[in-house]
Structure 1
Amino acid sequence: MTTFSKAIALCFTLSLLVACGPADNDVVETNLHGPTAAEILGNPDYPAISYGGYRGKTRDLAPTHEQLTEDLKILSAMGVKVLRTYNTSQYPQVASLLEAIRALKNQDPDFEMYLMIGTWIEAHNAWRSGVWDEEKNAWDGDTLTDHTRGNIDNNTREIDTAVAMANEYPDIVKAIAVGNESMVQWAVKYFVYPNTVLKWVNYLQGLKASGGLNPDIWITSSDNYESWGGGATFYQTDDLAALIKAVDFVSVHTYPFHDSFYNQDFWGVLADEEQLSKQEMTAAAMARAVEYAASQYQGVADYVESLGLDKPIHIGETGWASNDSAAYGAKGSMAADEYKEKLFYNYMRDWTDGAGMSLFYFEAFDEQWKDSGDAGGSENHFGFINLNNEVKYAFWDLFDEGGFDGLTRNGKPLVKSYGGDEAKLLSEVLSPPFKSLMAIRKITTINPAAVPGEAVTAGRYVVVHESIQPTGSNNTTYPSAILKLIPWEGTVSIEMSQQGVVSIATRASDWWGTSLEFQAEVGENLENFKSGYLHFELRGDSDIGFNLGFQTGRYLDGDQVNSFAAFGPGAARQVTDEWTSYKLSIDELNAGTDLKDVTGILSLLSQNRAENKQVQLKNIYFSRD
């Protein structure tokens, strides 16, 4: 049985558990307010979607009652019966949305729309940028986000507001999600550890048991698949296990769209597909995208099963953008267009409906506040209806059937995108890249006999090189684990050509950074290279400045140390458009670490804005002399 088939089979098995409800819930009470979460989640008669009705470039401009009512009628026409929201107290949209749903229900008793209310959970000092301590060559810890504890004021307010909403609208609110991607550690500006989420989940479960909250409401947290134990093992902690036991269901996020650029194992056209038509190639690539999503679901399901727990698992968020000006567009992974969006949506619905899972698809309408600085940014284009009232390709059939007749948005009727010209739409579909020609975003040339954490004993440690390769007699080795080319917080794009040239392009940000990060539970042990050298060749724009070297420890663990040298204007080492060879002394670079835990094999960091600048590196290796 394939991973995809196993995912479907296991998901169907889990869906049968939904009707039983949470095992630890001893409160039995008849719900007089319509279907319960147990009856809704996993039921294909209740399609779900993520909803935000913001039209402007800031969430301070909340949609009006009339605008919300328009959106609800459109969503109902699309067959949607369950909405997922993201905040309770920070912005007024959800309070107004509940009022609008209640008003429509009063007008038409047959109108159905239910909510999974999301609460925004964040860390203490969330969104703080910190202060760089030049003497310590590190961040000042007192000004950094403290991920070990939550923002008590914000989090309490969010939870209390959710409880009040659930009690006031028991016929509408069916689930509460404690946090949105609040545990995934790439959310470096605000993430918390599972114990913070667990605290609030237990609080809500306690209210259910004591009568302070409807016992039929289901409690979850909505987060990335890795945060639920489906990927990197460092997420698999005792606190996470306790959280999974405490929730009523697991809400998993999976985004093949984003990984079409950052983790391309599944993406692209296979060699035996290169002669197919564009539509056939695209369909095959999108089918693999759904298999990839299913594999991430399966990772979570396997982890839950390993804990001896039975929990319903639903897809809390996934989606596919129809446009992008950078990483996912014509100059990137060539993933973003309306045709692929339709295929992904249909394939995902087919899978989850057949497997007995709810799918909170992201999202109903385009919103421009998500990337207010770049109108073409993918985050602004995940909806099925754009800001010009154009219904995208995924719902053209419903449009042709008259499903949107008489409905308006902002007082204007809906129309089809591309003016309804399918030939024009298809002509602009981006062909997925051939895998044989795709840029590389992780370095997989490793020494399978080497063990991460054990000291490297060879004389040369080669990251990538056009002529130096390990043999049985040249005392040379490759890394003991894969190196991922990681753009820090999306501030750059980074990729490697088939010829081994690492290319970095900076984006619009007040700082930027990137690293060839070692993918193991421990860093590479390069203690034998403490008197050696870091070699590489470099070229780029002459007006860009940055620090380059290696990193030990981990930022999120608070023990990261940067061992860097300065390049660019004002530094001893300049950058030019000609390849220049460098041999940096490890002893001079080293900022006080013992080199037993090198996690960033090669890293670049700049505290200065440098938009649309280029840096390239090649022939990277360490030597002991």
Structure 2
Amino acid sequence: MPLTLPTGNAICYSGYRDGQSPGDKIYPSLDEIREDLAILRRHWTLLRLYDCSPHAERVLQVIEEDGLPFQVMLGAYLGAEVSNPGCPWGADFTDAELAASRAENQAEVGRLITLANRYPGIVFSVAVGNEATVDWTDHLVPVPSMIAHVRRVKAAVRQPVTFCENYVPWQDKLRPLVPELDFISVHTYPLWEYKPIGEALAYTQANIASVARCHPGKPIVITEAGWCTHSNGRGMHAAHAVQPLQATYIAELTAWTRAEGLLCFVFEAFDEAWKGSPDPLEPEKHWGLFTADRQPKLAMRPLYPDLVAQA
């Protein structure tokens, strides 16, 4: 049967606020999630969640209990199953650490299956891992292991199954995985590759086209595309990481993907202080369309004038 995915505005949602983080296992409360979803439901109907932690469970619980009009791409976070000397910030693990990580991956995949089956009317697809095969990842999973995880999930859920990754591995390394998937999920970040705003959309289009050429006929979804608003210069030109350019890129990206009928999850809903280095200008912290205190950035102000008035 041909694949049918929902349509509509889509966004990546990770609701960790100041003082919260998945690493510390301090999760947003039900009330905080309700506050976030009240904001997001005004413009988006599709959410992407990254793992099967208590955060994700609470999001699904709130959507069901409150009858909210969201559908969810639910993810499983897969940790390192091998060391990766190619990771710039270090990914050299002991045998014991890797064994523990592999065991946790099995448990996480089990949670993915459980939640997908518990919420069949909310979870419209499942993603088995995120950026776990690209050369620079600190949570490297070999492709044969990824295939095994995907096969386990496909045998146990009714939803379409995918894997979310940077556009580069899809062109070669992930060819053995593609036949196992119902659709390909691609990440594209012109800003991380030093592209100015005048070249950004064309670069995103080229990224997607490069994957499509390698896998003709395979459906493609953009599961991350966005623009940072503060930076210390790590991995990008700091002068490009500003709100007006985010607003321009998001507007251009949305217009193009809508015209093409291409499902695209904007990265991301809210800034997250826990990410990256302690530097407050660490770019990983500043990809939200809203600040960490839930104020709309420039790209969102026309849609949320009431929230701007409260600033």
TM-score (norm 2): 0.90
Q: Does 1:203 align with 2:152?
A: yes
How far the C-alpha of 1:349 sits from its partner, in A, is 0.8
The corresponding residue for 1:166 is: 116
The corresponding residue for 1:244 is: 178
Q: Please say if residues 396 and 416 of structure 1, whose CA atoms lie closer than 8 Å, have aligned partners that are also in contact.
A: no
Q: Mind listing any 5+ residue stretches in structure 1 that lack a counterpart?
A: 1-18, 22-37, 106-110, 129-138, 208-212, 230-235, 261-266, 268-284, 406-413, 420-625
How far the C-alpha of 1:103 sits from its partner, in A, is 1.5
**Cα deviation digits, residues 371-401 of structure 1 (max 9, x gap):** 351122111111111123321110111123x
Q: Select the residue among 85, 107, 115 that pairs with 2:49.
A: 85
The corresponding residue for 2:36 is: 71
Q: Please say if residues 304 and 311 of structure 1, whose CA atoms lie closer than 8 Å, have aligned partners that are also in contact.
A: yes
**Cα deviation digits, residues 80-111 of structure 1 (max 9, x gap):** 111111111xx310011111111210xxxxx3
How far the C-alpha of 1:327 sits from its partner, in A, is 3.1
Residues 342-491 of structure 1 correspond to what in structure 2 (within 5 A)?
Answer: 342-371=247-276, 373-400=278-305, 405=306, 414-415=307-308
Q: Does 1:119 align with 2:76?
A: yes
Q: Select the residue among 228, 239, 243 that pairs with 2:170.
A: 228
Q: 1:314 to 1:145 in 2, by over 3 A?
A: farther
Moved more, 370-379 or 174-183: 370-379
Q: Select the residue among 201, 205, 229 that pairs with 1:322.
A: 229
Residues 39-54 of structure 1 correspond to what in structure 2 (within 5 A)?
Answer: 39-40=5-6, 43=7, 46-54=8-16
Q: 1:194 to 1:344 in 2, by over 3 A?
A: same
Which amino acid in the other structure matches residue 47 of structure 2?
A: L
The corresponding residue for 1:178 is: 128
Residues 496-575 of structure 1 correspond to what in structure 2 (within 5 A)?
Answer: none
The corresponding residue for 2:56 is: 94
Q: Select the residue among 202, 207, 227 that pairs with 1:296.
A: 207
Which amino acid in the other structure matches residue 84 of structure 1?
A: R
Q: Please say if residues 56 and 369 of structure 1, whose CA atoms lie closer than 8 Å, have aligned partners that are also in contact.
A: yes
**Count of equivalent residues:** 303
The corresponding residue for 2:193 is: 259
Give the percent of matched residue pairs that are identical in Structure 1 and Structure 2: 29
Q: Select the residue among 190, 202, 215 that pairs with 2:139.
A: 190
Q: 1:416 to 1:224 in 2, by over 3 A?
A: farther
Q: 1:198 to 1:54 in 2, by over 3 A?
A: same
Equivalents in 2 of 1:150, 1:257: separation in Å? 35
Q: 1:180 to 1:68 in 2, by over 3 A?
A: same
The corresponding residue for 1:55 is: 17
Q: Please say if residues 219 and 247 of structure 1, whose CA atoms lie closer than 8 Å, have aligned partners that are also in contact.
A: yes
Which amino acid in the other structure matches residue 244 of structure 1?
A: V
Which amino acid in the other structure matches residue 218 of structure 1?
A: P
Which amino acid in the other structure matches residue 220 of structure 1?
A: T
Equivalents in 1 of 2:209, 2:285: separation in Å? 29
Which amino acid in the other structure matches residue 415 of structure 1?
A: V
Which protein has the larger Cα radius of gyration, Structure 1 or Structure 2? 1
**Cα deviation digits, residues 468-499 of structure 1 (max 9, x gap):** xxxxxxxxxxxxxxxxxxxxxxxxxxxxxxxx
Q: 1:176 to 1:115 in 2, by over 3 A?
A: same
Equivalents in 2 of 1:125, 1:311: separation in Å? 29
Q: Mind listing any 5+ residue stretches in structure 2 that lack a counterpart?
A: none
Q: Secondary structure at the match of 1:190?
A: coil
**Cα deviation digits, residues 266-324 of structure 1 (max 9, x gap):** x3xxxxxxxxxxxxxxxxx424101001111111111113xxxx211111111101111
Which amino acid in the other structure matches residue 284 of structure 2?
A: E
Q: After TM superposition, which residue ranges in structure 1, 4 or more long, deviate above 4 angstroms?
A: 125-128, 144-147
Which amino acid in the other structure matches residue 209 of structure 2?
A: Q
Equivalents in 2 of 1:379, 1:182: separation in Å? 17
Equivalents in 1 of 2:296, 2:77: separation in Å? 30
Q: Select the residue among 311, 328, 341 that pairs with 2:218.
A: 311
TM-score (norm 1): 0.46
